[in-house]
Every structure is written in C-alpha cells, then in structure tokens.
Amino acid sequence: MKQFASTLGLLLTTFVVAASSRAATNQPITVVSYYFGNYHPGDPRNVKTKGPDWSEWELVKNAKPRFPGHQQPHVPLWGYRDESQPKVMAQKIAAAADHGISAFVFDWYYYNDGPFLNATVDDGFLKATNNSRLKFAFMWANHDWYDIHPAHRGLPGKLLYPGRVTPETFNKICDLLIRDYFSRSNYWRIDGKPYFSIYEANTLVSSFGSVAATRTALDQFRAKAKAAGLPGLHLNAVDWACDRNLAHALGFDSVTAYVWVHHAGLPEPQTEYNFVRDEYFGFWAKAMTNYDVPYIPNVTMGWDPSPRADQSQAYGNFGYPFTNVIKDNTPENFRTALEMAKQRLLAEPGGLRILNLNCWNEWTEGSYLEPDTVHGLAYLDAVEKVFGNNHEQ
C-alpha cells in the first residue's frame, strides 16, 4: 500500500507539473509597439526651431535614394497625417488593435523646461473615441535632443534640450505621471502596476549625481504611486544604457531593448536583415541570464536613418544618422523574426511573456509598421498572423 501511495503521488505530481507547463505555454503573449510622436505640426519647440508647419514628415518627403536599390522615399499609404488629431489617431488605434498589438509605448519627452511632443498623446490618443481598444504607456526618452533634422556631416548638431534634469524636475515629472496618466483605465500595467520605462538610466544617474541618490528618487516615485492608491510601479530600463549592476542597484523590475542596432552590428553598407536578427537573438539569449530581472525582447522592422541626413551630402557610415542600413527587411523576413520570437517566448518556463516592436512609426529611421505605398498593410498583417490569436497554435 505504501509503495502504491508513493507511485500514485509521483503520478499526481507529474500530472500537476505537466498541467502547469501546459498552462504556462498557453499564457498569452502581450505585443506592444513603440510610438515616436514627431509627426504633427505646431509643437511649440518645433515651431521655434523649424516653423509652424514643420514635422518629421518633411524629412520623409524629401528623402532620396542614396545607392542603387535604395528604397527612398517611403510614402505613407494613409498620407502625411497629423497624429495629434483624434480622428487620425483613431485610425492608428484601430489598425493596431485589429492586428494583435495590445499597447503603444510612446516615446515621452519632458525636459527641465517642460514637455515636448506631448500633443501626440494628450490631443491625439487620449481624445480618440476608440482609445479604450488599446493600452498606452510611456518610455521616457530622457536623452539629449540635438538639431539633426537634418544632420550635416562635419557640423556637430546643436544641443537643444539636455536629457539631464534637476531633482525638482524629476519630482514634478513623477507627480504629473501619477496624476494625469497612471490612473487611467487604459494605461498599460504589468501585474496591476503601471509600466514606466526609462531610456537612459545612466543619464538619470547623472541628473542626481550618484546611484544611491537615484535609487532614493525612484523609491520615492514608487511611494508616491502607492500614496495615490496605485499598487506600485513597474519600472523598466532600456538596456543600451543600463547594465546588470545598474539595473540591480536602481531596483528596476525589468529590462528591455529599443532597437536591434543597439546590440547588433551592421558590418556592410547594406546589411542583411536576417544577419542582424541572428545577432540580436544571440544578445537576447545572453541578456536572459545577464540580468537578474525579466528581460523583454524586441523585434525590429528595419533600420535606415538616411532621411535625417543632409540629402545633398554623400551618404556612408560616418556617424548617426549617416550609418549603414538594413536591407531585405521584407514582410516575410519580418514575420519569420516574429515567429522565432514567439517560439522562444513560449519555450521559456517563466518570466514575462511580452514582446515589443520597433516601431509603429519611426519613418525617419526606416522602422515602421504603418502601411506604405509599397507593402500596404503587410507588416501589420505579419503581426496579426503570428500574434492575432496570441496563443500557441
């Protein structure tokens, strides 16, 4: 009887473990997309430096082929529309939601003297009548902003807005985020906690002068959120400016990537998409063990920042935005990358089942999911075909 009971217990344990494994395998994968909001006229900063009608659409329109076979300019199928208009944003929301994307993670800007490009969210997304269909979150793009629109070889871009902020500004940012965004029903949360990503953790440290002071500020940010009735915060760091030691010291809850080229070289003037994919996937494998917090991987659609370069100057690998580019980033190759990412995520026994995409609309860096006149909705269709059901098939 004792042997029977032991055998029965082993069988039950095996059954429970197998059932738990199947449940984990069937857990949905959340797909989010970065969104870069510089495609609307009238931002006060852009008006001051570029004029009242300027947006980065002007760079997209003026881009030229720089070498044989170079596809430029890219022409948006929906036209050069103003993303700060609620009806325009509603079209984007519908397309994203229809194709398996759960949230836009907006590149969010706030400097010592206030916000930048905020009309994308405040006037466009939040006033769109269908914004309940899509979650939103912020990646604080706290990097230096240079006048490189376009950039000229041999002339350093003028620093317009430094990424470093004062502790007082950071405190103001925390209050603003909690008051105006984090409590909204469609703000994206992980385990109930609002997700907030920081692009340059090292720049934040320079703002406070030490790692210890920065950790104190982030702890106070979490305390403010709880005092406002939130269960806390999910603080994320973009990995290109945050190593394992810094992520641990600052207490981040996860780490992620913004774009493949941060971690994969482009050895050729036109580097194959699949080569870059494999380079990044190798980095991803190491990141899973390098960090002691969950790693959220990325799939990038492409890379070609030539629209931001002076179109009258010779193009080459001379320094951003004069860089090598990715070629053969076809919808088919993009879909294969998505399928590979999905299978790897499903194979992981634990951790976060989240994938971020670069990007919804980085038109001036050649990485966008929005439809163009060459491929139509093929990139969005690839996302839908791989993640529309959001479960393992």
Question: For residue 105, which amino acid is it?
Answer: V
What was the pLDDT predicted at 390?
54
- Exposure b/e, 28-45, CB count within 10 A at least 16 = b: ebbbbbbbbbbbbbebeb
Element (H, E) at 255: strand 254-256
What was the pLDDT predicted at 18?
37
What was the pLDDT predicted at 24?
43
Segments in the chain below pLDDT 50: 1-25, 391-393
CATH code 3.20.20.80 for 29-387: yes
What was the pLDDT predicted at 348?
87
Q: How far apart are CA 327 and CA 330, in angstroms?
A: 8
According to DSSP, the β-strands at 361-362 and 367-368 are: antiparallel
pLDDT tens-place string over residues 328-364: 999 999 999 999 999 999 998 878 999 999 999 999 9
The reported pTM is: 0.92
What was the pLDDT predicted at 159?
98
What was the pLDDT predicted at 230?
98
CA distances for 177 relative to 107, 181, 233, angstroms: 14, 5, 11
Q: Where are the domains positioned within the chain?
A: 29-387
pLDDT tens-place string over residues 215-235: 999 999 999 999 999 999 999
Q: Are 339 and 386 in contact (CB under 8 A)?
A: yes
Q: How far apart are CA 55 and CA 333, in angstroms?
A: 30
What was the pLDDT predicted at 3?
41
